[in-house]
Structure 1
């Protein structure tokens, strides 16, 4: 006889729920910050607004998840405290999202790879044994479907466009592909979360993600890079140097003027 949802939730330690919420929230937060760097600098006004709106969606998701994490932790830390007053080694985001923008094509490749993963993640997370996570996932899934249509559309447009646009997105794809394995690699937080019914086994997301990515890359006439093992895993608190630089800018005001409000 299977355990009831309430029993499963009770078996999930608070520390596990806290770390899992941080992993999801940090990934949304850092990607939002990266996209925010495009505001006022995108190739055209429409893309500028689209990237800004996507960043705001991601920021909203991060707020919900970090607020939830703060409540679970029970130490009085708010979403802002968790966003602005933690050091780089305390973050659990995917390594992929902390990679710099480089150019528009590079940014679109990163967004597409993450969007395709988040589609599968949030779809399954709606069945979480934790009602709060399921509720956040349901709202985030609606937003992610729009994000995916935007990024996949641009992948095809650029990949099957001019020689220069094709080369730029292919270069971005070649550079970023090594980080995709982390989305499906086992980690202590993911494994414990899956066992407790909080979230899906990350390996279970790979088949659907691969099918979606392959279809879009084929339409875009882009060559899928070979899979390689990469040693950095942000969800294991092993980050590239890019995260420190990103947080130095993102956290500057709160670090310089502690408790500042406006």
Structure 2
């Protein structure tokens, strides 16, 4: 088994936590604005699940780092260039269909990842994944059903879902691109080889998109933010301004 450095493990944990933090905040933006009350409650619960998972991932990251930073510190006090999420999760909500398609694409990757992490050689990572996978199994079922309902619905809903897929699909490839950190944690048995997750992802995603009568765009991915220097889109800066303003306005405040 290969060795993994403290810095590499910290980086991996931040990637997991930043994905759920950023997407959780994005989804929370629907609170009070969803098309129907049931969806408003469901989206709020999804956001809460993701933020709860963030607390575990970033909490462990803080322990591994050993500098006294808590999950809250890592979430609220880092600048945009220090975040390690994939670009997919920071994309704007758009309409309801775009939000649910973004959710489905991430959920499918997330579920495959968590299933593998539940077998991790790192005991705490395996425990976090085993807890989170129960929530994410529900997430992917719900988002997948919604994608089918809207994609195979009216001509208007179908068009919106196809437009959403055309917009978001190019961001999928980044989730399966490995770098030195991914290779290190995979070599140590901590996390899976990202390339191996693609088959699981495709097995979940392609039948759902087919049932939704949606056509997957041709070509590769054009967005490589996270694994090529973490050059985020401008969307994350706006999102963090909303998420972090209270802590930055009143640093160290407590209630």
Structure 1 residue 49 corresponds to structure 2 residue 30: no
CA drift of 1:192 comes to 1.3
Q: What residue in structure 2 maps to residue 123 of structure 1?
A: 115
Give 1:57 deviation, angstroms. Answer: 0.4
What residue ranges of structure 1 are gaps of 5+ in the alignment? none
Which of 12, 15, 19 in structure 1 is aligned with 2:11? 19
Is 1:150 equivalent to 2:142 in the alignment?
yes
* Residue in 1 that maps onto 2:246: 253
**Segment drifting more, 225-234 vs 17-26:** 225-234
In the aligned structure 2, how far is the partner of 1:193 from the partner of 1:241?
A: 29
- Structure 1 partner of 2:167: 175
Normalising by the residue count of structure 1, what TM-score does the alignment of the two structures yield?
0.94
In structure 1, how many angstroms separate the alpha carbons of the residues matched to 2:13 and 2:100?
26
Decide whether the 8 Å contact of 1:179 with 1:230 is kept in 2.
yes
Using the alignment, how far apart are the partners of 1:246 and 1:227 within structure 2? 29
Which stretch shows the higher mean deviation, 136-145 or 221-230? 221-230
Q: Is the 8 A contact 1:20 1:190 kept in 2?
A: yes
* Structure 2 counterpart of 1:220, from 199, 212, 233: 212
CA distance in structure 2 between the aligned counterparts of 1:261 and 1:37, rounded to whole angstroms = 24
CA contact under 8 A between 1:129 and 1:197: conserved in structure 2?
A: yes
Shift in Å at residue 148 of structure 1? 0.5
Partner residue in 2 for 1:205? 197
Distance in 2 between the 1:98 and 1:120 partners? 20
Deviant stretches of 4+, over 3 Å: none
How many equivalent pairs are there?
A: 254
Partner of 1:244: 237
TM-score calculated relative to the size of structure 2? 0.97
**What is the Cα-based RMSD across aligned positions, in Å?**
1.1
SS, match of residue 251 in structure 1: helix
Task: Provide the rounded CA distance (Å) in 1 between the counterparts of 2:82 and 2:222.
Answer: 20
Which string of whole-angstrom CA distances, capped at 9 and with x for unpartnered residues, describes residues 125-174 of structure 1? Answer: 11111100000000111000000011000000000101111111111110
Q: Deviations over 1:31-66 (max 9, x none)?
A: 000000000000000000111000000000000000
Pair 227,135 (structure 1): closer, same or farther in 2 beyond 3 Å? farther
Q: Is the Cα contact below 8 Å between 1:181 and 1:229 reproduced in 2?
A: yes
Cα deviation, residue 123, structure 1: 0.6
The Cα of 1:188 is off from its aligned counterpart by 2.2
Contact 2:62-2:69 at 8 Å conserved across structures: yes
Q: Which residue of 2 aligns with 1:195?
A: 187
Instruction: Give the gaps of 5 or more residues in structure 2.
Output: none
Describe the superposition over 1:236-256 as per-residue Cα deviations: whole angstroms up to 9, x where unpaired: 422111111100110000011
CA distance in 1, matches of 2:87, 2:203: 22
